[in-house]
Chain A
Amino acid sequence: MSAQPVIGVLALQGDTEEHLRALRGIGATAVPVTAPGELDQLQGLVLPGGESTTMSKLAVRYGLLDPLRKRVRAGLPVYGTCAGMILLADRILDGTADQCTVGGIDMTVRRNAFGRQTESFEGSVGIDGVDGGPVDAVFIRAPWVESVGPGVSVLGRLPADDGAAGRIVAVRQGSLLATSFHPELTGDARIHGLFVDIVKGTA
């Protein structure tokens, strides 16, 4: 068996620990990343949940934004959850005036789309490419995907019959994966498993 790929988890702010635990739990080698030099060793990267404005400010301050953009453009597989999804979006709505993203996925993401924390919720969402039934999905002041370009596959939506009317909450474009929700909080590692397969080139 070949060596496990090294997957970084951006550790500027947010639930980095939960992602490291989820990845290690399925046998991946996972390391926290805070400096540009640490990107070189990676075969994959997770952008965790947290506060997207804080993360993007810190990424700019520590000179991570441009190296991240370069690596993403060069094909580094990346998985973003919640704030991480916002960072992977080419276009954002309801961000702050100076909010930058890494980009890479041809989509428009609306920040805090479901409302404030009192409207945060959990439910289950079926994900294309993830077997074994719907995943438990925890949405926390979550974004949704407003629209996607032609190269983006929609992997999951909310049901059409509730307030959020069929909103897109999981997408993939090439080796970039993003979800509005937080699989790292549920102990269900199937989406992390899908990402590790993307990193290995088997999914």
Chain B
Amino acid sequence: MANTAENTAEKTVGTTRVKRGMAEQLKNGVIMDVVTPEQARIAEDAGAVAVMALERVPADIRKDGGVARMSDPDMIDGIIEAVSIPVMAKARIGHFVEAQVLQSLGVDFIDESEVLTPADEAHHIDKWAFTVPFVCGATNIGEALRRIAEGAAMIRSKGEAGTGNVVEATRHMRSIRSEIKRLGTLDEAELFGAAKEMRAPYEVVKEVAELGKLPVPLFSAGGVATPADAALMRQLGAESVFVGSGIFKSGDPAKRADAIVQATLHYQDPGVIAKVSRGLGEAMVGINLDELDESQRYAGRGW
């Protein structure tokens, strides 16, 4: 007989372990942006580990302009209904009511995202106040650590979403990884200085210095369009990737989705990456960053 008598009846939801643990489960998997239940099913069939439900992929948000907000709850419900894998959704930076709504809809993860128009120019959402875990973007270590201090359970590079151009994601991932390494070389006094410089709590800075990694999973996002892009981010130290516009803005989404899943797993095997890169059809068009007006850059959003 199982010794159930020893069990306590207490069940606690939304603990740090439960939130960060959820993020750990997504490692080595690909999270794909989808705008319809049909796309969500294609993503699930291709082996996506989760989908991001949104009304417009970043490439279309760029094209359409205007204020980008949380998606219609009907649309999110439709995607939750369509698939059995986890569903994520985006809230505007600082818009804690959008986050409350998303949590009440039962989404599995909230992305407090610079792709949407920020709702608060000084504060991010207090993510400790939620049961649902959050992922936040970062361009450098200070930003990553401030988000972790606010309760983020996962960090992703911001990159430059909706461009199909991986250069910014590369810059952010390299910056975060090299700063993590540098923290490991600092002595106690220098760590206090670093915390001050990074505007992040000393405890989190010290934890990163000791672990040699962030205390939460580090993913990459923002401009990944090909299997080789996904593998590049993995080799630079990302534990996995988000693919936004790259899949469903391409010629053959199902095939590309499958190829990116395989390249993410076998990121150190050029033979596999070559094989899955063949005959993928047209990639999304892509934007060169120097053609992008400063006001059109999303990575600078967030503080």
**Residues of A with Cβ closer than 8 Å to B?**
11-18, 34, 49-51, 53-54, 57-58, 61, 82-83, 94-96, 111-112, 116-128, 133-134, 138-141, 154-164, 166, 168, 170, 182, 185-186
Contacts and interface: CB of A to CB of B under 8 A. Distances in A.
A160 B28 contact: no
Given A123-B7, A185-B21, A51 B2 contact: no
Given A13-B49, A123-B10, A140 B25 contact: yes
B47 A58 contact: yes
B288 interface: no
A187 to B, nearest CB: 10
Contacts of A138: 17-18, 21
Nearest to B30: A54
Among A13, A82, A117, which residue has the most Cβ atoms of chain B within 10 A? A117
Given A51-B86, A117-B109, A126 B6 contact: yes
Counting chain B residues whose Cβ lies within 8 A of the other chain, the interface size class is 35 or more
Contacts of A159: 4, 7-9
A37 to B, nearest CB: 14
A182 B24 CA distance: 11
Interface string B10-41: 11111101101110111111000000000000
Interface of B: 1-15, 17-18, 20-22, 24-29, 44, 47-50, 84-86, 103, 106-109, 131-133, 261-262, 265-266
B132 to A, nearest CB: 5
Contacts of A162: 9, 11
Chain B contact residues, majority secondary structure: loop
Contacts of A125: 7
Contacts of B85: 51, 53-54
Given A51-B49, A134-B7, 19 more contacts: A11-B28, A15-B27, A17-B27, A51-B50, A53-B44, A54-B47, A54-B48, A61-B47, A117-B86, A117-B107, A118-B108, A121-B11, A122-B12, A123-B10, A123-B11, A126-B6, A140-B21, A158-B4, A162-B9
Given A124-B8, A155-B2, A160-B4, A118 B13 contact: yes
A164 B10 CA distance: 12
A49 B7 contact: no
Given A53-B44, A128-B3, A117 B9 contact: no
B257 to A, nearest CB: 12
B47 A141 contact: no
Contact of B22 (A112, A117, A155): A117
Contact of B27 (A14, A156, A157, A168): A14
Contacts of A122: 11-12, 15, 17-18
Contacts of A11: 28
A121 B29 CA distance: 23
B86 A141 contact: yes
Given A54-B49, A57-B47, A112-B84, A158 B7 contact: yes
